[in-house]
Chain A
């Protein structure tokens, strides 16, 4: 199983893999979402800072005193064996769970304990481990849901005749942007398909595309490659690299060690609710504790 293997320290493929992915599709980058989104991501040195995060469920401590930082414009991997507390950490950051202790800062602002929509509106947007597409809505409806500041989301504006025109105008703009992003991800031919009919990989693409429409600064991807076939996985990776180059910051939870090692510049390793270590892929590879944690050592 690839997710329990650790490459030998001197495998050396890591940077090469990232480089080749970067080189792809220069054209697509030029017309990528960064150019289309109304506001480009803001740059901060350390957009996400987690300090002393702790989460208990009843008597079980899922996350214990976890601290890490994610640097701007990087792709950071968060790895760890099952039950290491990765998803719980994610949920605490994004407001799904309220942390028992500790705090989370985003772009210099305290976001601990905010509700999920507040976190998302501050520019920190997540995707889910199992793609949460809205099945009985078309791909286009899924997309059009996402953009912020839609006037028509106000009850009276969408009802009253004299404000309707502005809503319709804005809908046209939103539709245009959705087409742009769908084309960027090469799923525009699926626009009128019901999201429930998409394949696993296409759902992941849709989720990422939808998340981008909220104009985030940083994306938290929870196992974006789970259940995605290899060729689609490569495309998804290309897109993520392109976006990173445009200035988006990524934090990716992933089981597949190789994938993280090859694509991320920093790696955070969690084990039994703690951050075991943090460093570059090659540092992580050569760390004895990590190897032990992954190979099961002493339980």
Chain B
């Protein structure tokens, strides 16, 4: 019927496996970015950086959309406090890993090894999840939504508050840094490279890049590598969640989404299942937050405003709730088209047309009124595209809700069992009788 349906139908026909579909989409996205960069002749540095940024956002949105899919797509839990779990994850991780001596700008931490700190941060997010879930999951679904969004704001204000700026815990002087943020003096990527004895290959890669980018190639290489690490995490999330979905556990989650009361009537303790699924999802969100921000080296509480939560929701809605593959696709499309896309477009336009954007709306409107010259207004719009980003997202969402509310792959139902159910029926016994009965009912069925 509509264009989207035709396109997504075609996409599905063309790719038989999910892997091909994801790789195909990624290839298309990268081709567009590379292509435009080549045509307008970005510097190699700018080009690689743009690609690295894109990869980073495809990775983080993919991770978080997958985690949200466990909550919403599988279990039907309406969590709109994602950002709170992310914040707890990265804050706890940073405080746990920071060296006890403290930096110039604030108190110290616990000096745990980074991997252990990541585990602690993830567990903290899960713990927050269970604290929220225990009282809220007993209530009707929309109350969980209210509780989670309130929680995410409470988390943000807690990290902002002066009370927790510096405190003593277990004899360690530590703190969340309040409004001025938290700074940690370590580089997770480099520690990992050293830990995994990859320094040799890493240096070779830096040297190789040095032939293209003469001036200080290292940060560019690091950006790109980190993007690759994130994509590996997306694969790991996907494997875990798919395995979980295709199991009796996943089957109960799906049943809860469909009809909780009926599931209870079959002897399933739905609250336990909901709490477990919620905790696991929160842990994955916490880890997602850690992976998003740990390479930045610094964090402020106001990064974690609710809008981030809604970005992840948009990514999931684009991809299609209920489908893990869809979540990955949704994360990629959102990152490429809605999150990075407008900014990239702005760069492209400004490079091509050498835009001299007017400074204010008045200056932009002046020529349009006096001499019907729309160019300054267009330049002004392009120059301020960052502010328009959310308008574009809103429009995209409205359009999607009208034309394809189930998203790219939401119509697809992934079978919840550890074994293939359709792999032909068994051959023993009453085959013939069954077929007879079958025809019988077929005739009777009063559809």
Contacts and interface: CB of A to CB of B under 8 A. Distances in A.
Nearest to A153: B248
B249 A116 contact: no
A135 interface: yes
A194 B421 CA distance: 13
B101 interface: no
A39 interface: no
B183 to A, nearest CB: 36
Nearest to A122: B267
Interface residues on B, range: 35 or more
A125 B425 contact: no
A137 B254 contact: yes
Interface string B398-432: 00000000000000010111110110011000100
A31 to B, nearest CB: 7
Given A134-B254, A188-B434, A176 B426 contact: yes
Given A132-B261, A155-B280, A159-B244, A145 B251 contact: yes
A141 B266 CA distance: 13
A144 B417 contact: yes
Interface string B257-275: 0110111111111100100
B262 A153 contact: no
B250 A158 contact: yes
Nearest to B257: A136
A20 interface: no
B265 A186 contact: no
Interface stretch (A46-54, A101-109, A163-171): A163-171
A203 to B, nearest CB: 11
Interface in A263-282: none
A186 B440 contact: yes
7 closest A-B pairs (Cβ-Cβ)? A189-B438, A186-B437, A152-B248, A158-B247, A132-B262, A120-B267, A134-B258
Interface of B: 240, 243-244, 247-252, 254-255, 258-259, 261-270, 273, 276, 280, 413, 415-419, 421-422, 425-426, 430, 433-435, 437-442, 444-447
Nearest to A165: B418
Contacts of A167: 247-248, 418
Interface string A139-156: 011001110101111110
A214 B264 CA distance: 12
Contacts of B439: 189
Contacts of B435: 189
A138 B251 CA distance: 11
Contacts of A155: 244, 249, 276, 280
A236 to B, nearest CB: 11
Contacts, number: 165
A126 interface: yes
Contact of A154 (B249, B264, B422, B425): B249
B446 A152 contact: no
Given A153-B252, A192-B421, A145 B434 contact: no
B270 A117 contact: yes
Contacts of B248: 144, 150-153, 158, 167, 171
B425 to A, nearest CB: 7
Given A134-B255, A140-B421, A152-B418, A186 B267 contact: no
A116 B252 contact: no
Contacts of A148: 267
B255 A153 contact: no
B340 to A, nearest CB: 33
Given A120-B267, A141-B416, A192-B422, 6 more contacts: A120-B266, A145-B263, A176-B426, A188-B438, A191-B425, A231-B444
Given A138-B421, A186-B437, A145 B266 contact: yes
B261 A202 contact: no
A153 B280 CA distance: 15
A117 B426 CA distance: 32
B434 A135 contact: no
Nearest to B243: A159
Nearest to B248: A152
Interface centre among B248, B267, B273, B419 (most CB of A within 10 A): B267
B243 A158 contact: yes
A237 interface: no
A4 B54 CA distance: 70
7 contacts: A128-B262, A141-B417, A144-B417, A153-B252, A175-B421, A189-B437, A199-B447
A144 B240 contact: no
Nearest to A139: B421
A244 interface: no
